[in-house]
Amino acid sequence: MSATPLTVAVLGASGAVGNEMVRVLEQRDFPVRSLKLLATERSAGKVMRFKGSDVVVEAVGPNSFKGVELALFSAGAGPSRQRAPEAVKAGATVVDNSSAWRTDPKVPLVVPEVNARALEWHGGVIANPNCSTIQMVVALKPIHDAAKITRVIVSTYQAVSGKSGKAMNELTEATRAVLEGKEPPAVLFPKPMAFNVSFDWPFADNGFTEEEMKMARETTKIMEDDSIKVTATTARVPVYRGHSESVYIETAKKITAAEARELLRKAPGVEVVDDPTLKMWPDPRTAEGKDPVYVGRLRDDSSHPQALWMWVVADNLRKGAALNAVQIAEVLMAKNLLKSKTPLFK
């Protein structure tokens, strides 16, 4: 990518998503003039590698964003609410991975393959959607454009890295404990994750988890269509990386699974893997470390004339987080939209 290089900050650099952001910036040859890696005092002094050089992680403070043009945030909602105004006031544009700004009507929620045009009205903060939502909407978009989706019922099988880097360590320890006949730990998770399926998100009064409600809310905002009915069951499975989703879709206009498969073959960001006779279906092991949203198991529903099913898998740390954020930054640069004319914070 050739463009005027930017001063870039990564907030939450020592975390699972932050590490992946640094990797994606390097792999995509994003034009970086200088890179600032920010976290808390806990990780200050830690050394990370970027393009063959050492970069020392610094503890974030109110003056950390002086001179920063692009700030990629992955430090959680609380730090994001505190630091985004500081960064925008300092002149940076923030792409935020947390849930802090996603439902704010003044903040675009963007998946470049679906609604890149929403970047035109950003006020210095752009929200990166929830990982499960990102991969689903990339696969829904071509079907919606062709046949207008009216209803989506999704069940997810989410990897532990979607919780945090430390959550991956807990799965390792729990697995080892079970294999050694010991009691597995459950510290970050409500129940041991080894050889188990669980729900580790806060539950709302309506019985749904916050993750399930995020998928419904965020999908309609990104697809810019409130009429789509979305309902979800999100589950955590003992997989390190890569979320899988079983997605049921009803459409206003009839579209067959064969037609949807052909549309998806041409869709940006999608790779169709769909020949069960050759053991070809998407799975987290194959998706790990890769960029596409993999779609397979396309089939016409047998109980409804205008419905189909698909199986959608992507690496939650890449397309579900770091890659999507960097792709947003790439569009901002390509369309000369990096600097907001109407910043949210002055």
Among positive and negative, which fits the CA dihedral 9, 130, 336, 87?
negative
Q: Does 43 bind ligand NAP (CB under 6 A)?
A: yes
Q: Does 85 bind ligand NAP (CB under 6 A)?
A: no
Scan residues 23-42 and list those touching ligand NAP (CB under 6 A): 39-40, 42
Residue placing its CB nearer to ligand NAP in the complex, 128 or 251: 128
Pick from 7, 9, 15, 326 the residue near ligand NAP by CB under 6 A. 15
Q: Which of 295, 298, 277 is closest to 286 using CA atoms?
A: 295
CB of 10 to ligand NAP, least distance (A): 9
DSSP code string of 281-321: ---HHHHTT--SEEEEEEEE-SS-TTEEEEEEEE-TTIIII
Residue 343 backbone class (left: φ over 0; alpha: ψ -120 to 50; beta: rest): beta
Give the C-alpha separation, 25 to 37, whole Å.
13
CB of 100 to ligand NAP, least distance (A): 8
CB of 241 to ligand NAP, least distance (A): 8
For ligand NAP, what does the binding mask look like between residues 115 and 134, x meaning CB under 6 A?
----------------x---
CB of 35 to ligand NAP, least distance (A): 15
Residues β-bridged to residue 295: 272, 312
Q: What positions carry a catalytic annotation?
A: 131, 243
CB of 71 to ligand NAP, least distance (A): 12
Which residue reads 């959608």 in tokens?
312
* ∠ CA 214-165-325, rounded to 5°: 55
Q: Does 192 bind ligand NAP (CB under 6 A)?
A: no
Considering only 159-167, 182-190, 261-269, 303-311, which stretch makes contact with ligand NAP by CB under 6 A?
159-167
Scan residues 49-78 and list those touching ligand NAP (CB under 6 A): 60, 74-77
Say if CB 264 and CB 295 are below 8 A apart. yes
Q: Does 284 bind ligand NAP (CB under 6 A)?
A: no
Q: Does 165 bind ligand NAP (CB under 6 A)?
A: yes
Residues β-bridged to residue 299: 309
Residue placing its CB nearer to ligand NAP in the complex, 43 or 93: 43
Which residue reads 């700004």 in tokens?
101
Cα–Cα distances in angstroms (integers) from residue 70 to residues 83, 125, 164, in the given order: 13, 10, 23
Scan residues 303-322 and list those touching ligand NAP (CB under 6 A): 316-317, 320-321
Among positive and negative, which fits the CA dihedral 158, 163, 168, 171?
negative
Q: Residues interacting with ligand NAP, by CB under 6 A?
A: 11-18, 39-40, 42-43, 60, 74-77, 79, 97-98, 131, 161-162, 164-165, 316-317, 320-321
